[in-house]
Structure 1
């Protein structure tokens, strides 16, 4: 087995363990490269079928191509596609683009709060109707007790403190200093009742590993990651008011791999174009302690 084979096998193992150990779990799909690789791995783990609902938190400020890509792939792969949102914050315009919140508060409103209440079933959830390709209100309001996330340890400082199976309290708050040890593929999966679990099958993957795997498996991803003629592309995807592209002429996956191997971005953080990280002191720990992805 080569390195990618080993990473794939470990991730598939974690996915199957999560599905076996936890009731009513879901998988977050942010539409970016990492969570799309995670989705691909789930299809491998369960032989072409994904038995876990895919959940997307829609801030209504995503780049339009991202939403189109999400819905096209959900229809093609017959995914149980669910989205949630903070309807009240959007209606009251308590957002950064509307000038009524700073970036951190906007993320807390549109992402952290929306995620917490979508997972708990306290707020409306919307599920894709595959007959029409449209979303309808989800009648299932059962709480998701665990969520599978495409977090990588190398992506950003606070994520390096995660575990494969990482507990949160009933409010989704993260106690960074109280994480279970994980040695020699021995994982803690028996948690106290009411514990919310985050599962991270991609924890040991790097940005380069992700792109090498996308190339090897020919995984379809959004074209926003590629230079479309203006010498710029997105390296990390998020809400358009807070995400800027990088200077790059990479027009395909092979170009990106070469760019990463050449060291062009060796000393530039992957999320350097995400403005909310800078407002959070250069990282995401404040947001993530409060339930952010």
Structure 2
């Protein structure tokens, strides 16, 4: 097998193991390239059907094209699509775009807290009704005890400390120093009652692998990743007040692959356009508190 096929096979195995071992699973879909590749792999793993809910944390500050893409693909692929929000903070305008808090505190409220309470079922979830073509309040408040996430070890320093099967405590907090060893493809899948699991099937993929796979499989991705004629595109997607595009003329996956291979971004971190990573201890601070 070539490298992409080996990575695909490993990820499909992790997805099937997670589904076999854990009940009440969900999968995070941020609609970015990595989580969309993860969604594609899940469709392969389960023969075209995704048997678990797709969860999106909607901060209400996502770039509009992201939400349009999410809903178009969810309807086309018949996905069990759910989103959650920190509606109290949004209503009170206690956010960074409203000038009330720092970027880090905004992320904690709109992402970490929203994720924690959406997964637990404590806060209202909204589910896509395929018959109506719109979101309605979800009557199912059962907690998701495990979440499948599309993080990669090479994307950012704190993510390199993850495991394929990574336990959190009942509050979703991450103890970086107490992670199970994973040697020779042997994975710990027995955890104490009350533990919340994060499962990372893309852990060994690189940014280049992701784009090579997108090209090979012809995976539909949001247009923000490509130059629209102004010499700029997004390399990493997030909330519009805190995410900046990069200078690039790449208009398709092949041209992005060429940029990555020639070293255009070799000394520029993939998340360098994400302003919140540069504040208050960066992404690891957020991730210890439950951030993706």
Tell me what 1:234 maps to. 234
Partner of 2:150: 150
CA distance in 1, matches of 2:178, 2:169: 11
Stretches of 4+ aligned residues off by more than 3 angstroms: none
**Displacement after TM superposition at 1:251 (Å):** 0.5
SS across alignment from 1:215: helix
Q: Hey, what does 1:9 align to over in structure 2?
A: 9
Gaps of 5+ in 2: none
Aligned to 2:286: 287
Per-residue deviation at 1:174?
0.2
CA distance in 2, matches of 1:280, 1:208: 29
How far apart, in 1, do the equivalents of 2:251 and 2:280 lie?
Answer: 32
The correspondence of residues 136-147 of structure 1 with structure 2, limited to 5 A, is 136-147=136-147
Residue deviations 1:232-271 (CA, integer Å, cap 9, x gap): 0000000000000000000111000000000000010000
Q: Deviations over 1:5-54 (max 9, x none)?
A: 00000000000000000000000000000000000000000000000100
The equivalent residue for 2:254 is 254
The TM-score with structure 1 as length reference comes to: 0.99
1:107 and 1:101, CA in 2 relative to 1: closer, same or farther beyond 3 A? Answer: same
* Alignment of structure 1 residues 113-262 onto 2, 5 Å: 113-262=113-262
Structure 2 CA distance, aligned partners of 1:272 and 1:185?
A: 32
Deviation at 1:73, TM superposition (A): 0.1
Deviation per CA, 1:129-183: give whole Å up to 9, x if none. 0012100000000000000000000000000000000000000000000000001
Tell me the secondary structure at the aligned position of residue 41 of structure 1.
helix
Q: Which residue of structure 2 lines up, in the alignment, with residue 270 of structure 1?
A: 270
Task: Look up the SS of the partner of 1:105 in the other structure.
Answer: helix
What's the secondary structure of 1:88's corresponding residue?
A: helix
Q: Aligned equivalents of 2:91 and 2:280: distance in 1?
A: 25
Mapped pair 1:51 → 2:16: no
The alignment of Structure 1 onto Structure 2 pairs a total of residues equal to: 292
2:261 match: secondary structure: helix
Partner deviation per Cα, 1:56-90 (whole Å, 9 max, x = no partner) = 00000000000000000000000000000000000
- Please report how far the alpha carbon of residue 221 of structure 1 lies from its aligned counterpart in structure 2 after TM superposition: 0.2
Cα drift, residue 217 of structure 1: 0.2
Q: CA deviation at 1:280?
A: 3.5
Q: What is the distance in 2 between the residues matched to 1:206 and 1:267?
A: 15
Q: CA RMSD in A?
A: 0.5
